[in-house]
Amino acid sequence: MDNNSVQQRLKCHFYDHFEASDSTFLSAITPQPLDNPSWVSTNKDLAEMLGISADEMASDTCLGIMSGDLTQYSINSFAAVYSGHQFGVWAGQLGDGRAITLGEIAVGDNDELWDLQLKGAGPTPYSRFGDGRAVLRSSIREYLCSEAMHGLGIDTTRALSLSTGTTTAVREQVEPAAVVCRVARSHIRFGNFEHFHYSNNPKAVKELADYLIQRHFSAWKEDPKRYYLLLQNCVLKTAKTIAQWQSVGFCHGVMNTDNMSILGDTIDYGPFGFLDIYNPEFICNHSDHQGRYSFRNQPSIALWNLNALATCFGSLLDTNEITDCLKQYENEYLSQYRTIMATKIGLLEYQPQDEQLINQLLIMMANDQVDYTLFFRKLCDFSVSNQSIRDYFIDRDQFDLWAETYLQRLASQKLTDKQRCESMQQINPLYVLRNYMAQTAIEAAEAGDYSEVELLLKILNNPYITHPEAEKYEGLPPDWASKISVSCSS
């Protein structure tokens, strides 16, 4: 990766578009590189998608850039301003406090733009007295989880690289600092629109909407309903993403409006968690004392956030158009969720009577504290002659009643047990990033061993197939896993 290739590939359309605007969308900022940087991991599959060769990715030049050293390059890096509601309360101005966008890379025949952003590369004007750094433990969690979500087929930011060095950061204690290079179709959030709406700047709201349409939805540019289509797309894509979260047992932990993507992608991996036992009241963020962002609440919180966003479209759409968009959320969410859950239990098509079948199963799982991921994977093998999953339940009689109804429903389909099993294994993952798995990788990495990060990256990129070298991650979590505490500082 020489100077010319960096200059040619890495552009900054967002910076170029808004630098001369009379609205303050961003601040030019130069990253502060890690001292004595070294790789923790590089994502070769994502690099290939971006058109970065293995040799380029392995180079010292690339390591320097991805750990924040831009001294030899004319790169217009920046941090963006936004505001938001945090835990349901208006928090005012926020912004990229420890994220610095390098620019975009055009990918594929259609030159689709992907943002490259460094998280943890030093303070910005929006750091609010923070050091702008990220520590190794939280960076490993984000690096692995963004790729885990991609492996599960859920739209998400991704992670190109993870580097560390001799730079440290003080949290509860002195910890090694790290930088994640995040890759996204867009880092624009609900909070970007909120910032300018509540600053009484409708011109900036329109400029931001026009930029999104120009970049992501160019076919709408001349459409008189383009702003309606933009809001509608956000509503529908958000509904789909939340349905997918619920189906794999993912809990975001900080669903503030500034952590919601305008494209409906999953962004900002802070105190997240995947369910071990199925518990609808699960709270993955120990800073969430009221349980606002519990697993059960995620669908309704997403709608609350969409209402907050829709308020900002008041200068672009009339009330009826906004209301019409928001009304589409519930139907889309339920349609997506029901379809996915029906597929998870081996049904070719969701039918209204399946609602009770699915809900009763989840109630039994919650009552008997059944492991969510493990159960659905084992369910793939269920048949008249193989009902070993019965042993997962305390109330066997209740399970037997459910199983009788389930077998009758399966019998109505023209599928063999083998065909159904193969289909179910493509939607019920064998691996998700449980907290204890991330913690195992973190402890090894802090001791200088990055092999567990690489192993998890490999299996989480392909979570539906067996990886013999990862057999230890295919069973129930260890007893100590329940003692892991994750908070906003993580």
pLDDT in tens, 283-293: 999 999 999 99
Q: What is the mean pLDDT of residues 26-46?
A: 96
What are the distances in angstroms from CA 192 to CA 83, 111, 153, 252, 259?
Answer: 6, 25, 26, 20, 10
Is residue 448 in a domain? no
- State yes or no: is 258 an active-site residue: yes
Q: Binning pLDDT at 50, 70 and 90, where does residue 1 land? A: very low
Is residue 125 in a domain? yes
Is residue 109 in a domain? yes
More confident call, 76 vs 446: 446
**Residue 12: is its pLDDT beyond 50?**
yes
Is residue 348 in a domain? no
Q: Give the tokens for residue 113.
A: 């733009």
| Lowest mean per-residue pLDDT among 101-105, 217-221, 449-453 | 101-105
Is residue 337 in a domain? no
How many CB atoms are located within 10 Å of the residue 462 CB? 14
More confident call, 172 vs 36: 36
Residue 72 half-sphere exposure toward CB, CA atoms < 13 A: 12
Is residue 195 in a domain? no
Which position has the token pair 């004595």? 36
Is residue 43 in a domain? yes
Count structural domains, the chain. 1
Q: Give the tokens for residue 409.
A: 């429903």
Is residue 321 in a domain? no
Residue 166's domain comprises 3-190
Residue among 258, 265, 276, 371 flagged as catalytic:
258
Q: Give the tokens for residue 188.
A: 């624009």
Q: What is the mean pLDDT of residues 322-344?
A: 98
Provide the CA 89 distance to its chain's centre, in angstroms: 23
Query: What letter would DSSP give residue 86?
Result: E
